[in-house]
Structure 1
Amino acid sequence: MKIIRSKDFTGSRAWEALDIANMNGITTRLHWTDQPYRWHINDGEEVFVVLDGRVQMHYRDNGFEQVAELGVGDIFYASVGTEHVAHPEGPARILVIECEGSV
């Protein structure tokens, strides 16, 4: 059993992660960041939950860049093939559920 106080987790570098669980190849990780990631496409589906802070999620839909403003409690679901990049607005804590080893 684990109890994780997400607001207490702070990384020493952008996108540092705390591994929470690996359930049959699906990982759940808590990330801390204050910097954008990079454009990428995951190896599978991804669920991205903002636990603290604000994040601008940029994604491409039919070749056009879109931006979704995400706040605490908001969830972004990236289906297979969704190109996206997260831009935090200051420090943010994000729960990410994805296939093990995904980008």
Structure 2
Amino acid sequence: MKVIKSKEFTTDRAWAALDIANLQGITVRLHWTDQPYKWHINDGEEIFAVMDGAVEMHYKENDIIHQVLLETGDIFHATIGTEHVAHPQGAARVLVIEKEGSI
């Protein structure tokens, strides 16, 4: 049993994470960040839920870059092969659900 107050979670570096659970090879992790990540493609699907703050998600479809502002409570689903990068707008806390070992 765990109770996690996501708004209280911080770390000493951007994108560091609190491991919450491993569901038969699917990880659930809470990240804190105030810096962009990097363009990447996961080797599986990814769920990205903003728990606190706002994140501008950039993603490519047919080599065209799109962006969407995700606010607290919003969810981004990156399908297999979706190249994307997250740009927090200040400090943000993000719940990420993805295949274990994914970048």
Q: For each residue in 1:13-37, what CA deviation from the matched residue of structure 2 results, as whole angstroms up to 9, or x when unmatched?
A: 0001000000100000000000000
Q: For each residue in 1:49-86, what CA deviation from the matched residue of structure 2 results, as whole angstroms up to 9, or x when unmatched?
A: 00000000000011000001100000000000000000
What is the aligned residue count? 103
Cross-structure match for 1:43 = 43
RMSD of equivalent CA atoms: 0.3
CA distance in 2, matches of 1:54, 1:4: 19
Cross-structure match for 1:87 = 87
Per the normalisation by structure 1, the TM-score is 0.99
Cross-structure match for 2:5 = 5
- Following TM superposition, by how much is the alpha carbon of 1:89 offset from its aligned partner in structure 2, in angstroms? 0.4
CA distance in 2, matches of 1:61, 1:69: 17
In the TM superposition, structure 1's runs of 4+ consecutive aligned residues that sit over 3 Å from their partners are none
Cross-structure match for 1:71 = 71
Q: Secondary structure at the match of 2:36?
A: coil
Cross-structure match for 2:98 = 98
CA distance in 1, matches of 2:28, 2:22: 6
Per the normalisation by structure 2, the TM-score is 0.99
The share of aligned pairs that are identical, in percent, is 67
